[in-house]
Structure 1
Amino acid sequence: MKPASRFEIVAARLWNVLNEGKSFHPVFVLGTFLLAHLTELAEVGFWGRALPALALAAPLVGLFVLYDFPLRLRWALWAYLAAFAVLFWFVDLPVAALALGLYLFFTVFFWGTLYYHLRTGAPWTNFLRFWRLVLENPDSTSGNFLEQVPKALLALFVLEYLVAEPLGAGRAAAVLGFTAAIGVASHLVHRRFFDWKPAYPEGPTREVNRGEPLARRVIVVVIDGCRLDRFREAKKPYIERMMRRGAVYETVETVYPARTVVCFSSMLTGVPPERHGITSNLVLRLGLKVESVFDALRRAGKSGRLVGIAHLIDAFGDDVASVTSVAHNDEIDRNLIAAAKRELDEKDPDLLVLQLLAVDQNGHVRGTYYPEYVERIEITDRLVEDFMRWCEERGYLEDAAVILMADHGQGRGIGAHGHLSEGERFVPFAMWGSGVREGVVVREPRSILDLAPTICYLLGVEPPSGSSGRVLGEALLR
């Protein structure tokens, strides 16, 4: 059990530049363009054409950073690409081949095979499955073939069109006019067809427990990336026994985009991403714009700890007890649980939030529609049981409430999550223990934003300032 090193924290941030789609796009386009002209880079004449071309293509690249084109909107990107080919009568097949080759090498071999082998112990043959996962991936990362490839090809074709011959005013005006048309079309497409963002709770959290706490301690176990439908399929005797002894919420929705740091930030602040400021796993401004549940606990003289991997530090800073994510997938959750035990023994926090990662990683590496994914959920059940027995033996479950949930689900492809396809949207959610009613099943829609105010209600403290989540009162003895 090693904490994430300073090198790993920085490396994780750098990796997210290539992992998150918004940052990957300009890096990939520029890199491919320079590789396509590698033999010309020392020529002054080339830069005389290339620099104006890069400046004229920048607005188009910026549009593709601004607009995600998630899920059902991806058809627009292919329409833009076809429109450019027809209107400009220009397609650069060698550059297209280079771009596709580089993209597939990066996603399928470097990322899907080498990276995952070194980090999680994935087999060296993982590329035999991973290429199919990339092609059907619907999320907001660089692994989304149907979004990233047309974006890259269109930007590269524009660049090649501009450097193919001396740049004149007519060619420049044509490209800028085409870019403006794409900007208008993109705005209209998103305004008309982008209609699947969740409806978040509005207004401040109204219910506050100013009386006696319902629980001495709250332990939250987050099974990262756990699909609700696959969770229901899995054989998980311990978790199911505990669910019968407590309350189960059947329709708890995650946030958009459904990325891990985004979701944890909403779960532990009670506010949507637009307000807490974390809108992808690539965090350009470290820290949250609002209070977290950890701040709320500190105000009340209580304490909380989040045990997880390095990228959660970007949002929660010193409230995270980090564990290195460079571990075989059979070991990562055991390492996280060992760190959680250490936190309980050494710091005795009033709130412990434990991220379990193996299910999420299994979905990313091997896909969610294969038996390994359900098997990993079943392994997680046994690990949770062992952890809870340890907590009970040490007295940490005395007057404690336990919450088990996921931050997001996963869709098709490489454990896709981000754009809220089927499988990503709804998450498992159950509570049991001190202050929790027994045998409750709630089917009405709820949000992961409701976690923070519910924790605070159980512990008898004010919710984070700005929280708009609702206390899950149906589950509580009050």
Structure 2
Amino acid sequence: MKSASKFEKTAARCWNLLNEGKPFTPIFVIGTMTLFHLQGLIQGEWFPFLISLLFTLPLFILYFYYDFPLFLRNYLWIPVIGYLLFFESPNLALWGFGIGLYFFFTVFFWGTFYYHLRIGTDWLNFTRFWKLVLKNSDSTSGNAQEQLPKFLLLLAVWDGMMTNLATGELLPATHYFVFCGAVFALAFILHHFLFDWKPKQYDSFTTGEAMDEEMTNDKVVVIVIDGMRKERFYEANTPYLDSLMEQGTEYLNMETVYPARTVVCFSSMFTGTYPKEHGMKSNMVWKLGIKVESIFDSLRKVGKKGKMLGIAHLVDSFGKDVETVTAVMHKDKADRNIINKAKVIMEEQDPDLFIVQLIGTDQIGHSRGVLYDEYIEKIEEADHLIQEYVEWLEAEGKMENTTLMICADHGQADGIGGHGHLDEGERYVPFFMVGPGVKQGEKVQEKHSLVSMAPTIAHLLGAPFPSHSRGPVLNEALKERWKQHE
């Protein structure tokens, strides 16, 4: 199977400038203003354009610093209404141009052209995608309910300043700075008092010793079905995964981390800690490489090897520990090709820890939505492919002393398979494990976090915990002699 090229890795990082909500807002507003005033700029009218941009910077900074998750985004219309009440009417032609450009980008360029070229969706995908954009609640540019009030206010303020400068005036300075102060105060109050649904984090580091060498697993295999929403998984016909759950231990309340973006989740899952420590705070990575030890570093300390098979984004966190797969392939071939490559890696490299990312379910969620039959079909396809792979591992003698973990990195909400802000369907993920030291038929009700994956893997393979690991070992799943004893 084709690996992700250097061009694809670079292109993926560039795409995140437009995909992630934080960088998208300023890029889109600057681009919209430039296009709308292009004739004047060609004629040299740069001074009012740049000076008015300078006065608008406080609002740009505010909207870059603060996300407005879920119901908080409803409050974004308050500053827009305030502007309409206290300042002159906005340029409606500019607003119309901005709205049109936004929906052209999200519905046609992204939802139709981009997804057709990348994964082979139909040229008529826009007929569904526009509804997904309007319902989307995640932290990306496709969240219309968050992006619309942000860019409409920025366009109004910037263009209003520019228009007045052309006549030798500015917006009333006192009123403007009071307005900016009020917007800052609103944002602070909302996030300080109302933004209270982040998962609780573990305060202390993981404690205890690694497992005795004679009780360690030979291997741990982790299969991550990217973006698999928990209740949709239960609705799907997945006989093989169901049988694995009955043979092992299922965690019924396994939480992902915030923000629930793929790079963030994988970084937390395999370092055992949170974005504030490992440094990956969205899919938009400004500096490559996690800031702390990963499970791969821990394994190297005891002469063992780990390998991850995933898309180009994961290289941003884990570098050479990732074998990449290209994300530019037909949606019906993606997971099949990944499983084929997973067999080759196990044959040729035989890692002690092998992590496989299946991407088909996530791709369909993003391009077609999670509440449609196509999404269920991808989960069922994953069931067949995982059965094929595990049975192949058994035939190759790779499962005799191996623990298998199956999970999702995050769920998905309605809209464009939205994930990031922990809307309904994102927060709790499927998670179960089966192996020689794992209890059979156990159902764990207690709430746990995906940050427990790294220390549990380290424990099973007799390696030290990663340097900043905070999650406790998943002892509830382990038989007595395999448990971690502190």
Question: TM-score, normalising length from structure 2?
Answer: 0.97
Worse overlay, 269-278 or 199-208: 199-208
Please name the residue that 1:311 is paired with.
313
Q: In the TM superposition, what is the alpha-carbon distance from 1:374 to its structure 2 partner?
A: 1.0
Deviation at 1:175, TM superposition (A): 2.6
Spell out the pairing of 1:15-414 with structure 2 (5 A cutoff): 15-44=15-44, 46-166=45-165, 167-168=168-169, 171-212=172-213, 213-414=215-416
Tell me the residue number matched to 2:449: 447
Q: Tell me the amino acid that sits aligned with residue 43 of structure 1.
A: Q
Q: Percent identity?
A: 50
Residue 204 of structure 1 deviates from its aligned partner by: 0.8
Report how far residue 375 of structure 1 moved.
Answer: 1.4
Deviations 1:415-438 (A, max 9, x none): 000000010000000000222111
Report the alpha carbon displacement of residue 145 of structure 1 after superposing the two structures with TM.
0.1
Q: CA deviation at 1:170?
A: 5.6
Report deviation, 1:174. 3.1
- AA paired with 1:192? F
Distance, in Å, in 2 between the alignment partners of 1:170 and 1:20 is 31
1:181 is displaced (CA, Å) by 1.6
* 1:284-339 CA-partner distances (Å, limit 9, x unpaired): 01000110000000111101000000010000000000010000111111121122
Matched-pair contact (CA < 8 Å) for 2:210–2:459: yes
Name the CA distance, whole Å, in 1 between partners of 2:65 and 2:177.
Answer: 17
Residues 360 and 415 in structure 1, CA contact (< 8 A), matched pair in contact too: yes
- State the Cα RMSD in Å: 1.1
For 2:217, the aligned partner's letter is A
Q: Give the partner amino acid of 1:154.
A: L
1:437-476 equivalences in 2 (<5 Å): 437-476=439-478
Checking the alignment, whether the CA contact within 8 Å between 2:161 and 2:171 is kept in structure 1 is: no
| Secondary structure of residue in 2 paired with 1:91 | coil
Instruction: Letter of the 1:292 partner, please give it.
Output: S
Change over 3 Å in CA distance of 1:131–1:169 after alignment to 2 = closer
Q: Give 1:68 deviation, angstroms.
A: 0.5
Q: CA-to-partner distance for each residue in 1:389-443, whole Å, 9 max, x for gaps? A: 1111111112110000000000010000000001000000000022211111101
The separation in 2 between residues aligned to 1:344 and 1:429, in whole angstroms, is 23
Alignment-derived partner of residue 418 in structure 1: 420
Three-state SS of the structure 1 residue aligned to 2:338 is helix
Distance, in Å, in 2 between the alignment partners of 1:170 and 1:137 is 35
Aligned length: 477
Q: Secondary structure at the match of 1:41?
A: helix
Comparing 339-348 with 30-39, greater Cα deviation is found at 339-348
TM-score by length of 1: 0.98
Task: Give CA deviations for 1:140-160 in whole Å, capped at 9, x if unaligned.
Answer: 000000001110000000011
Asked if 2 retains the 8 angstrom alpha-carbon contact of 1:363 and 1:373, the reply is yes
Say whether the 8 Å CA contact 1:207–1:470 is kept in structure 2.
Answer: no
Tell me the distance in 2 between the aligned counterparts of 1:110 and 1:471. Answer: 45
- Are 1:56 and 1:172, in contact at CA under 8 Å, matched by a contact in 2? no
The one-letter amino acid of 2:469's match is S
CA distance in structure 2 between the partners assigned to 1:378 and 1:171 by the alignment: 61
Give yes or no for contact 1:140–1:418 (8 Å, CA) kept in 2: yes
Partners of 1:267 and 1:320 lie apart in 2 by 15
5+ residue gaps, structure 2: none
Structure 1 position 168, deviation (Å): 3.5
Counterpart-to-counterpart distance in 2, 1:175 and 1:34: 23
Q: Does 2:18 correspond to 1:7? A: no
8 Å CA contact 2:311, 2:325 repeated in 1 = yes
Matched residue type, 1:39: Q
CA offset digits 1:216-266 (Å, max 9, x no partner): 100000000000110111110001011100000000000111000000000
2-structure distance, mates of 1:446, 1:429: 10
For residues 434 and 57 of structure 2, the distance between their equivalents in structure 1, rounded to whole angstroms, comes to: 53
Supply the distance in 2 between the matched residues of 1:314 and 1:170 (Cα, whole angstroms).
Answer: 44
* Partners of 2:161 and 2:170 within 8 A in 1: no
Q: Is the 8 A contact 2:164 2:171 kept in 1?
A: no
Distance 2:94 2:170 in 1: 25
In structure 2, how many angstroms separate the alpha carbons of the residues matched to 1:369 and 1:184? 38
Structure 2 CA distance, aligned partners of 1:403 and 1:108?
37
What is the rounded CA distance, in whole Å, between the counterparts of 2:116 and 2:87 in structure 1?
Answer: 44
Distance in 2 separating the partners of 1:438 and 1:39: 71
Aligned partners of 2:263, 2:273: CA distance in 1, in Å? 13
Distance 1:117 1:329 in 2: 10
**How much has 1:169 moved relative to structure 2?**
5.8
- Corresponding letter in the other structure for 2:368: R
Q: Deviations over 1:176-216 (max 9, x none)?
A: 33212211110011111101011022201013324134311
> Could you say what secondary structure the match of 2:148 adopts?
helix
**By how many angstroms is 1:173 displaced?**
4.1
Distance 2:47 2:93 in 1: 22
SS in 2 for 1:275: helix
- Determine the structure 1 residue equivalent to 2:437: 435
- The 3-state SS of whatever aligns with 2:164 is coil
Q: Which amino acid aligns with 1:100?
A: I
Counterpart residue type for residue 97 of structure 2: L
Q: Secondary structure of 1:401's partner?
A: strand
Distance, in Å, in 1 between the alignment partners of 2:475 and 2:216 is 12
CA distance in 1, matches of 2:277, 2:258: 12
